[in-house]
Amino acid sequence: MNMFVIAAKSEGKYLYGYHPHIYSNLKQAENALKTMRKNGKLTERDKVYGLDGLMLVDL
């Protein structure tokens, strides 16, 4: 996995929302998520997902 995004996903295939930035490093994505949660921009349902083409992959 070399691309990561921050998103909120339902139990099915649907997205509630996503942050429009693609990270090439898992650690960068996790740090960004932590910072945005602290600033109140994201909630606990948002998390880091790996991208496989255009599909979200749970990590």
In which residue are the tokens 């991208």 written?
51
CA distance 13 to 31: 25
pLDDT of residue 6: 95
pLDDT of residue 36: 96
pLDDT of residue 3: 92
Distances (CA, A) of 40 to 11, 27, 34, 43, 46: 23, 20, 10, 7, 12
- What is the tens place of the pLDDT at every residue in 6-59? 999 888 778 888 899 999 999 999 999 999 999 999 999 999 998 877 777 787
